[in-house]
Amino acid sequence: MSPQLSQFRRVVLKVGSALLVDRARGRLNHAWLAALAEDIADLHAKGADVLVVSSGAIAMGRTVLGLPSGLLKLEESQAAAAVGQIALARTWSEVLAHHGITAGQILVTLSDTEERRRYLNARATTLKLLDMRAVPVINENDTVATSEIRYGDNDRLAARVATMIGADLLVLFSDIDGLYTAPPASDPNAQHIPVVERITPAIEAMAGGAASELSRGGMRTKIEAGKIATSGGTHMIIADGRAKNPLKRVTEGGRCTWFLTPSNPVTARKTWIAGALEPRGTLVVDEGAALALQGGASLLPVGVRRIEGTFHRGDAVMIRDENRVLGRGLVAYDADEAARIIGRPSREIETILGYVGRTEMVHRDDMALSD
């Protein structure tokens, strides 16, 4: 049995260029976007955190600049993105403001979710916006991304973002209502698959190619996004986004494909920290801090007695007391700065370092304790 949309607390919605932009008329699909904003407002009003990964900057910008159809040179794409991103951000801000919701724009590149220091910054900013009940609108920074470093499509970007912020559901809106046993446009006998328990080679083989000139995606990249999402503890849906109120349609039982994960975002993240990262140093904590950590607290500088090794912000470090290893975590400071603030109250960090740093040496969300 498929899950229900109402049971998820943090939802990422991916909206593609082909849905947002009507290329035939050279403008935004305002009525469709307004209806999606209604869906977002309904979900938001029920207490869920909502984040949008939105394509469309290049598609909007090329229309404004009068660029021809077909493939663009890299610098043309970047120029189109620079123009289109302003219009796209303004539009999202306006349609969400109509429902009393504040939008926040975040532009990311591959390095922002792959390099741990920048990953922590992007994650902290996004989580703070969600904590303040804003709706972050994220897009790849096409104005500076090059073919060597870009994601290549916003399906995978959305999956990376979903796992980064601990979302428990990712919804990919597409021009198709889910995964079929074969591309339905070319195979009339193709059958719809409502639930994918696990992405196997057979499931991957069902994916086709890219769908339109506005999109760099296609079913193949959606399956890749599914692998990223489900391995990070995030369920995923592929749903038809062309109708008005596409999220409401899913809520009411509209046909889609669910990709299920056996894990959850917290467990998957803790597993990643505990086993996939090589520690670069050690934080030795006092008895009080060790007890606080076991009770679910973050590690504050005041509880650290000494540091060992050379590490940088975002690196994995061992956390231990004088007798045993307590766990691992992603440290919020470089080793030289950490050495200056250990044993000191967090309120003194600004005075010591000259800037307002993180209150925690290692936040509890960035920590995996040993059993």
Which residue ranges are tagged as binding site for substrate?
A: 55, 142, 154
Distance in angstroms (rounded) separating the CA atoms of residues 360 and 362 = 5
Annotated binding residues, as ranges? Answer: 14, 55, 142, 154, 174-175
Distance in angstroms (rounded) separating the CA atoms of residues 354 and 351 = 5
Judging by beta carbons within 10 Å of its beta carbon (0-12, 13-18, 19+), is residue 361 exposed, middle or buried? buried
- End-to-end CA gap in the chain: 33
Query: Does an H or E element contain 282, and which?
Result: strand 281-285
For 176, residues 6+ apart whose C-beta sits below 8 A from its C-beta are 184, 211, 219, 238, 240
Q: How far is CA 193 from the centre of its chain?
A: 25
Distance in angstroms (rounded) separating the CA atoms of residues 369 and 371 = 7
What is the maximal distance between C-alpha atoms in the chain? 69
Annotated binding residues for ATP, as ranges? Answer: 14, 174-175
SS3 319: strand
Q: Which amino acid is at 98?
A: H
Task: Say if CB 365 and CB 334 are below 8 A apart.
Answer: no
Q: Are strands 281-285 and 304-309 parallel, antiparallel or unpaired?
A: antiparallel
Helices assigned H by DSSP within 219-330: 219-231, 246-251, 265-275, 287-294
